[in-house]
């Protein structure tokens, strides 16, 4: 099965961490996997889980994650593996009724956030007594977000648990006693603070207000995917408002946004409709975000681990990337950084061109039996688009999002406004 799944995913070979995880699976009752962001931990635990699933009509593996985005990412990876087994994903912000209906046909693998899983347990929508494998992915983040009571409750519903797998991208982690991980094997794959293919650059700001410096810097970087990290949600909101005033296109991502807003921001960043994503550290781990070219530390993180996680969004695998450190006159380099970055002069503000793609919203999705092939045919036949005028397509339960060449989208909407897709009348508009 392993070879077939890798062929399906178009992965020529596993990396060292993935190989060691699979090798250690049957050697130890419990595993603690410490590996940097972007190294493929999801596949490392999904492959051995898939190989051991049976046709039993019961939940056999439970995967608990700290965020909705990570839950969906793992679910999509499992689906892409094309095994004969069902997976279901549960998370806050998703319709409870929909999830309850999905759980009627019992999945072999259940993926979810702690709070939503506990909701289903209290409503008796799911029976976890048959679970023998538990994965707590990014478990330290779940604890950091205050999910310990929910995690305790979930563990109390797993009487026949045989194996626990804990993962983290942070090296300095402690294991709470309620996890009952006295007997475990640690797989430790440390991350370099500054890998060879990551260039560090320092931008010195005039005075203590960094905004003019970040505007100048982003105006130069705006033609390549760039993530800007702040320590606080308020800083993200403030910078976003100022960038809007300067007409610099961007998206924001933080915990105060609702699920739909966060999802749209990631969709636009993934499909190239937006080249700049402003975020808190919520986006530094466990999200399905493509390789970014630049990381900007608007505010420096407090710890070396957070610095590594942020930078892990660029310079992945063999690619190169650049991390920019913005420092005010009163700031000094953090103590955890043992090298002085090259100083960068940001110059003057450059004209910022809008991205070549724009996102089209379609009010129909998977639950309407609409798929990517349907959308491509519909847009080419009824919308008169050429193939190269279509970009990335993402189909959700009740909506779909398509990257369209910016110079084509306004003429496209009137052509589709009264045309059905799969016998369904849908609303089409530029995604806000």
Predicted confidence band of residue 315 (pLDDT cuts 50, 70, 90): low
How does residue 316 score in pLDDT terms, banded at 50, 70 and 90? Answer: low
pLDDT greater than 70 at residue 191: no
Q: Comparing C-alpha atoms, which of 414, 409, 412 is closest to residue 358?
A: 409
> Is 289 exposed, middle or buried, given 0-12, 13-18 or 19+ CB atoms closer than 10 A?
buried
Q: With contact defined as beta carbons under 8 Å apart, do 64 and 154 qualify? A: yes
Indicate if the pLDDT at residue 228 is higher than 80.
Answer: yes
CA 400 to chain centre: 18
Question: Can you give the pLDDT at residue 193?
Answer: 64
- Count H helices, E strands: the chain? 14, 18
Cα 189 to Cα 379: distance, rounded to the nearest angstrom: 46
What domains, with CATH codes, occur in the chain? Answer: 2-188 (3.40.50.300), 198-343 (3.40.50.300), 357-430 (3.30.70.330)
**Between 3 and 408, the higher pLDDT residue:** 408
CA 383 to chain centre: 31
Residue 72: CB atoms within 10 A of its CB come to 21
Residue 139, by phi and psi: left (phi above 0), alpha (psi -120 to 50) or beta? alpha
Predicted confidence band at 154 (pLDDT cuts at 50, 70, 90)? very high
Region class of 381: left (phi > 0), else alpha (psi between -120 and 50), else beta = alpha
Q: Map residue 177 onto helix, strand or coil.
A: helix
Task: Sort residue 317 into left (φ over 0), alpha (ψ -120 to 50) or beta.
Answer: left
pLDDT at 319: 66
For residue 358, what are the β-bridge partners? 404
* Among candidate residues 76, 62, 81, the one with its CA nearest the CA of residue 157: 62
pTM of the model: 0.72
Structure tokens at 158: 């797993």
The mean pLDDT of 265-277, rounded to a whole number, is 94
Q: With the C-alpha atoms ordered 173, 178, 179, 184, is the resulting torsion angle positive or negative?
A: positive
The most confident of 6-10, 39-43, 96-100, 130-134, by mean pLDDT: 130-134
In angstroms, the CA 309 to CA 190 distance is 12
């Amino acid at each position: 099965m392993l070879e077939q799944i890798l062929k399906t995913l178009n992965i020529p070979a596993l990396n060292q961490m993935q190989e060691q995880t699979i090798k250690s699976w049957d050697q130890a009752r419990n595993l603690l996997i410490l590996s940097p962001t972007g190294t493929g931990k999801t596949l490392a635990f999904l492959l051995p889980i898939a190989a051991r699933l049976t046709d039993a009509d019961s939940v056999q593996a439970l995967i608990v994650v700290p965020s909705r985005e990570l839950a969906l990412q793992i679910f999509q990876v499992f689906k892409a593996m094309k095994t004969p087994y069902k997976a279901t994903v549960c998370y806050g912000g998703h319709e409870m009724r929909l999830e309850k209906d999905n759980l009627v046909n019992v999945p072999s693998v259940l993926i979810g956030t702690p709070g939503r899983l506990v909701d289903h347990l209290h409503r008796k929508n799911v029976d976890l007594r048959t679970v023998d494998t538990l994965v707590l992915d990014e478990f330290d983040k779940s604890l950091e977000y205050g999910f310990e009571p929910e995690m305790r409750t979930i563990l109390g519903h797993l009487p026949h648990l045989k194996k626990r797998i804990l993962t983290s991208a942070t090296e300095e982690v402690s294991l709470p006693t309620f996890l009952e991980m006295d007997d475990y094997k640690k797989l430790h794959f440390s991350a370099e603070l500054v890998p060879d293919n990551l260039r560090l650059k320092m931008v010195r700001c005039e005075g203590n207000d960094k905004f003019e410096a970040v505007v100048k810097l982003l105006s130069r970087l705006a033609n390549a995917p760039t993530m800007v990290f702040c320590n606080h949600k308020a800083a993200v909101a403030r910078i976003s408002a100022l960038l809007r005033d300067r007409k610099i296109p961007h998206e924001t991502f933080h915990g105060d946004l609702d699920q739909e807003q966060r999802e749209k921001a990631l969709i636009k960043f993934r499909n190239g409709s937006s080249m700049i994503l402003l975020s808190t550290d919520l986006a530094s781990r466990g999200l399905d975000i493509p390789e970014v070219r630049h990381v900007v530390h608007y505010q420096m993180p407090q710890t070396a681990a957070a610095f590594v996680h942020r930078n892990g969004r660029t310079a992945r695998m063999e690619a190169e990337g650049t991390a920019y450190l913005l420092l005010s006159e009163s700031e000094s380099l953090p103590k955890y950084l043992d090298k002085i970055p090259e100083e960068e002069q940001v110059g003057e503000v450059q004209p910022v061109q809008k991205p070549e793609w724009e996102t089209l919203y379609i009010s129909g999705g998977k639950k309407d039996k609409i798929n990517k092939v349907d959308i491509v045919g519909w847009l080419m036949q009824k919308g008169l688009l050429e193939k190269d005028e279509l970009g990335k397509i993402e189909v959700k339960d009740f909506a779909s999002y398509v990257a369209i060449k910016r110079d084509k989208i306004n003429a496209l909407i009137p052509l589709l406004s009264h045309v059905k897709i799969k016998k369904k009348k849908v609303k089409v508009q530029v995604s806000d």
